């Protein structure tokens, strides 16, 4: 079983898990009736990942992120805290992505660093554009709900072509981000500030991040179907958090450009 998500792929692509096999069930009607009357097995009974596990781990990580973010916001921390949060989040993000074993403590630490960064930068944006953070949160939640509905209803399906297009767009986006960083360091001007180019790129980044949620949902679904260990629910939650944080930042930047043009 392969995963198309780059964060979850290392775990789900390199492991084979024992999945449910209908042929192993006795065709005797009485046995089938007993099977259907048996309560649904939880991860505690099977040792396998379930959607409830993913939801619970995701909720834990976001509780940590929101708590640390609220503290960072209230303390009105500056650029030092912002850099610490982003650098710490980047390092732990890479460690969690490429680790062969799941480390819940590092996943939670990643959430804490991201909370520090998001709480600080959100306060900065809200100081410049009053109410922008609540707008960004609302748009992020709406985008998440919309992508989840599109995936569950089958309106958007993960195909090799779909994945290839997203990965190609991601590479282009990363190249542009590096060019922008170098440009800002040399000339003091980011490519995102050139006319309407910044608005187009910010909107494209938001759409790209939203579509990456589809890859997250698909990877989680495949992991559950393949019988991934319960511990992998932490990796699944981490992958979701990475994409949602990225989406929120893109929304925040897009709204700031729109508000700045008013």
Whether 33 is in a domain gets the answer yes
Whether 152 is in a domain gets the answer yes
Residue at token pair 């187009």:
200
Whether 1 is in a domain gets the answer no
In angstroms, the CA 147 to CA 232 distance is 23
Domain count for the chain, please give it: 1
Whether 4 is in a domain gets the answer no
Q: What is the mean pLDDT of residues 106-132?
A: 95
Pick from 93-107, 134-148, 193-207: least confident: 193-207
**Residue 171 in tokens:** 């590479």
Start-to-end CA distance of the chain, whole Å, equals 49
Range of the domain at 50: 9-260
- What pLDDT is recorded for position 127? 93
Whether 161 is in a domain gets the answer yes
Question: Taking the model in full, what pTM does it have?
Answer: 0.80
Instruction: Phi first, then psi: give them for residue 48, nearest 5 degrees.
Output: -105, 155
> Residue 38 — pLDDT band, cuts 50, 70, 90?
very low
Whether 3 is in a domain gets the answer no
Whether 2 is in a domain gets the answer no
Whether 192 is in a domain gets the answer yes
């Amino acid at each position: 079983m392969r995963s198309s998500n780059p964060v979850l792929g290392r775990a789900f692509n390199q492991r084979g898990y024992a999945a449910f096999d209908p042929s192993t069930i006795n065709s005797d009607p009485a046995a089938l009736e007993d099977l259907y009357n048996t309560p649904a097995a939880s991860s505690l009974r099977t040792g396998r990942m379930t959607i409830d596990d993913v939801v619970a781990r995701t909720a834990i990580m976001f509780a940590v992120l929101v708590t640390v973010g609220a503290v960072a916001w209230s303390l009105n921390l500056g650029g030092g805290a912002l850099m610490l949060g982003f650098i710490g989040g980047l390092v732990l993000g890479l460690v969690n992505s490429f680790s062969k074993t799941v480390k819940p403590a590092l996943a939670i630490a990643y959430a804490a660093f991201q909370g520090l960064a998001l709480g600080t930068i959100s306060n900065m944006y809200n100081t410049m554009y009053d109410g922008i953070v609540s707008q960004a949160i609302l748009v992020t939640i709406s985008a998440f709900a919309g992508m989840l509905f599109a995936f569950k209803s089958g309106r958007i399906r993960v195909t090799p072509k779909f994945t290839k297009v997203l990965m190609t767009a991601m590479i282009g986006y990363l190249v542009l981000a590096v060019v922008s960083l170098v440009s800002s360091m040399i000339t003091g001007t980011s490519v995102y500030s050139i006319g309407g180019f910044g608005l187009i790129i910010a909107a494209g980044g938001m759409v790209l991040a939203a579509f990456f949620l589809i890859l997250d949902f698909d990877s989680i679904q495949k992991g559950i179907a393949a019988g991934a260990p319960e511990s992998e629910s932490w990796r699944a939650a981490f992958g979701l958090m990475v994409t949602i944080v990225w989406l929120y930042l893109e929304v925040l930047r897009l709204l700031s450009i729109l508000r700045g043009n008013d």
